[in-house]
Structure 1
Amino acid sequence: MSIEICNESGVSVDETAIVSVARFALDAMRVNPLAELSVLLVELDVMAELHQRWMELPGATDVMSFPMDELDATRRPDSLDDPESILGDVVLCPEFAREQAKAAGHPLADELHLLTVHGVLHLLGYDHAEPDQEREMFALQNQLLARWRQDRDHALARERQRAADSHVLGTVGLEEHGGRDQ
């Protein structure tokens, strides 16, 4: 799966984590591993322009999704029979998201992870225009985020434990000496 990220927002963000959560969501949704996704982070004025142009709504917003290949019943994103496809673009606005994160009482990074999953789900055909759709999409979004965070936290804990074990065992730097203590 190819995920490209481009930060034109002027806000420093952990791009690796954004790609990681997008990849996790796509894998969990069984999207074809040959699919391509683009994530673009933009400034407020650029997002406001996109919001007006494509949604005919004034002002900036947090996330917009632009699907490239129409999804229909004959061509599913989880089908391995289909050739490589471009899912589309997820556009995030960190400045806008920063205010939402503050209001929600969590870090900007958490808000961007949520918005990334939200945008990916839109690309896969999920919507929240109707109450039933909203419940389904937001439940799935929350489930994917919780699983990704759990996996990420376990990986970080394993990494910290390995580093501590290496320090205690005196194996730090052994690979520099051919794997043996000299």
Structure 2
Amino acid sequence: MIKNLFVYNQKGISINKKSIHKLIHYLKQELNFVINNLEINFVNPETILEINKNYLNHNYYTDVIAFNYSEENNNLDGEIFICNEIAKENSKIYRVNYEDELKRLVIHGILHLIGYNDKIPAERKKMKLKEDSLVKKTKKLGDILK
């Protein structure tokens, strides 16, 4: 288990927390960062909508939100919120494995925390290529669903 990494899930959401720790351990080595404090929260659509409204002034559902509280991209202090139900819907829309979609969202959140951005098309393309590469590399780590 990684010190300073906390994985939470709302009632009714089953997550293999040990596998999340393995995934983050791999990403730490691959992307060269340390964790000061990191929370990864698996939440329902109502919670992600509330967070999106209250903190980002967006009135819509989303799959992942990351908050970076650090001034340094290689010393993580932040929170990631992932909506399982939206991840499940997206896996059907994009015809990908649900497990892979959840891993992609964890990876997406970490990439945001280390400085990647997806606001403009060129940055979004760069981030998506990195995500795709990391999802492929992490297939061997095991399932993150119970």
Relative to the length of structure 1, the TM-score reads 0.69
1:9 to partner: Cα distance: 5.0
Moved over 4 A (4+): none
Decide which structure has greater strand share: 2
The answer to whether the 8 A contact 2:23-2:141 is kept is: no
1:20-31 matched pairs, under 5 angstroms: 20-31=22-33
Secondary structure of the structure 1 residue equivalent to 2:138:
helix
Q: Distance in 1 between matches of 2:47 and 2:32?
A: 32
Unaligned runs of 5+ in 1: 78-84, 154-182
CA-based RMSD = 1.9
- Is 1:16 the counterpart of 2:5 in the alignment? no
Q: Per-residue CA shift, 1:5-61, capped at 9, x if unaligned?
A: 0111522233332332232222211113x5332101111111100011122111221
Unaligned runs of 5+ in 2: none
Secondary structure of the structure 2 residue equivalent to 1:36:
strand
The structure showing larger relative contact order (alpha-carbon pairs under 8 Å, at least 6 residues apart) is 2
Relative to the length of structure 2, the TM-score reads 0.85
- Is 1:113 the counterpart of 2:109 in the alignment? no
- Which structure has the larger Rg over C-alpha atoms? 1
Q: Distance in 1 between matches of 2:100 and 2:11?
A: 17
Give aligned pairs, total. 140
| AA in 2 matched with 1:37 | L
Secondary structure of the structure 1 residue equivalent to 2:137:
helix
